[in-house]
Amino acid sequence: MKIYTKTGDTGTTALFGGTRVAKHHIRIESYGTVDELNSHIGLIRDQDIDPHTKEELITIQNKLFTVGAILATPPEKETLKNGKERLNIPKISEQDITRLETQMDIMNESLPEMTHFVLPGGHTTVSYCHIARCVCRRAERITTLLNEQQGIDPRVLKYLNRLSDYLFVVARKLSYDLKAEEVKWIPEKI
C-alpha cells in the first residue's frame, strides 16, 4: 500500500464511500480535529502516568478512531436503499459514554473539592491534558456545525462532550498524583 496517492493534489479528498469533497469541508475539519485530539491523547499516554489511566486512554484512542470513521461517512453512504448498512463501521454506544462518566466519578472520589476554576499548568503532563481538552472542545464545536448541516449520530456529540470533561478530571487527577499545584483562577476586583 502506498502512502501517497496523488488524488488529493487538487485540494479534494475522499470520504468513506468514495464521495470527494474539498479538504476544507466541515466533515474533513471534524474528523481531522478528532485525529489531532487522538495524537494529543497519545502524548499524554506516553508520559509517566499510572497504568490504569494509560489503559483508559488507549480505549479512548480506539473510540476516537470510531468517531473519525463515523464523521468520515456522509449520510447518503451510511445505508443502502433496503436499510442495511453500506459500510461496516463501528458505532459509539451509550456504554462508551457511561464508561467516561464512571471513570470521572471514580477519579473525583479521591480529589479535593473544586471551589474555583483552575488555570491550566502546574506540570507538563497536566498541561498536555488541558491542551487535549481544548482540542476536544474544538472538535465538539466543529462537529456540532456538521450536525446542523448534515446530521450525525447524536452519541458522537455526547461522547465528545463527555470526553472533554473526562480530560479535565484526568488533568486534576494527574495534578494530584504528581503533587503539582492547582492554581485557582480568582478574578481581579474591578
Task: Using a cut of 0.85, tell me whether the model's pTM lies above it.
Answer: yes
Q: Record the cell numbers describing residue 101, joined without a space.
A: 462518566
- Which of 143, 122, 145, 120 minimizes the C-alpha distance to 130? 120
**pLDDT tens digit sequence for 131-182:** 999 999 999 999 999 999 999 999 999 999 999 999 999 999 999 999 998 8
**pLDDT tens digit sequence for 31-58:** 999 999 999 999 999 999 999 999 999 9
* 20-180 under CATH 1.20.1200.10, yes or no: yes
